[in-house]
A and B are shown apart, each in its own frame.
Chain A
Amino acid sequence: MSKSGYELVLCIVNTGFSETVMNAAKEVGARGGTVIHARGTANKEAEEFFHITIQPDKEIVMILVPEQIRDDVLHALYREAGLKSEGQGIAFSMPVTNVVGLSH
């Protein structure tokens, strides 16, 4: 619940999967997003113990959505780019108090 009526959905995925994320989000009504590059950090010791490697190159997709479709977007991201998929995505939303610049 945020007073502007919008929520910010952030999705952290492996590099190259931002398109998957955007396609999933657009399917349920999101209009556009912004992608920034990032590097993930993992517990080196745990990585060695479990014999897995975590790809450090990440993309963060930021999508502003009306709060009515926020749950749909999060569900879509979980389905299409969740931790069990190749994109290994984590998605969460944050309240937004003021928004300007969106065309209605």
Chain B
Amino acid sequence: MGRVKTKIAAAKERTANKKQKPADKNTVSQNRLELLVTIVNRNKTEYYTDLIQSFDVNMQTVMLGHGTADAKMLALFGLNDSEKSVIFGVIQEDKIPEAVATLEEKFKTIKNGKGIAYTLPLTGVIGTLIFGFLSNNRMVKGEQAK
């Protein structure tokens, strides 16, 4: 019994030693990127792109879309316009809570500004410059020459 206990203690010590120091903010694993998709009325596109840009989102793409909810549903949600803008932007994970909370508040308070927003995790990005650009990491200025 005693031998088992000492073995467990030794194993615990080993795993504790293996634990790495917490990575700093600029390390990839600590600064994941997600795709922020925001769907709003078309006439509010510019307002929302400006708002999203304030959360260090350096690149956004707007696509024109149409809502498909039927008239009864639209009335229920307080919407009356089916012409939508779909805004795609790449956002850093640590900015999401703030961005999402602000968007939610704006969706509720702005007249005709109702919309939905969601984020999708990105699994990969190629290129250090692009990664720096998307994560607004000003330390990355260019790709290193071969």
Assembly CA distance A5 to B105 (angstroms): 21
A103 at the B interface (CB under 8 A): yes
A98–B100 CB distance below 8 A? yes
CB neighbours (8 Å) of A6 from chain B are 118
Q: Give the residue among A22, A97, A101, A102 with the most B Cβ atoms within 10 A.
A: A101
Cα-based distance from A2 to B91 in the complex (angstroms):
18
Chain B minimum-CB-distance residue to A97: B119
Interface residues of A toward B: which range? Answer: 20 to 34
- Asked if B86 and A101 make an inter-chain contact with CB atoms under 8 angstroms apart, the answer reads no
**In the complex the two chains form, is B116's CB within 8 Å of A61's CB?**
no
Q: How far is the CA of A28 from the CA of B34 in the complex (A)?
A: 29
A35 touches B68 (CB 8 A): yes
Residue A62 at the B interface, CB < 8 A?
A: yes
Grouping DSSP codes into helix (H, G, I), strand (E, B) and loop, the B interface class, with mixed when no group exceeds half, is: strand
- From B100, B104, B114, B116, A64 is in contact (CB under 8 Å) with B116
Q: Does A100 contact B (CB under 8 A)?
A: yes
Query: Interface with A: B1-9, B58-66, B137-145, which one?
Result: B58-66
Question: Which one of A18, A31, A99, A101 contacts B114 once the chains associate, using CB atoms below 8 Å?
Answer: A101
A residues in contact with B11, CB < 8 Å: none
Q: Can you list 25 residue pairs at the A/B interface with Cβ under 8 Å?
A: A4-B118, A32-B67, A33-B67, A33-B68, A34-B65, A34-B67, A34-B68, A34-B86, A35-B65, A35-B66, A35-B68, A36-B86, A61-B68, A62-B39, A64-B118, A95-B120, A95-B121, A97-B34, A98-B100, A98-B117, A99-B118, A100-B104, A101-B103, A101-B107, A103-B77
Question: Chain A residues in contact with chain B, CB under 8 A?
Answer: 4, 6, 8, 18-19, 22, 31-37, 61-62, 64, 94-103
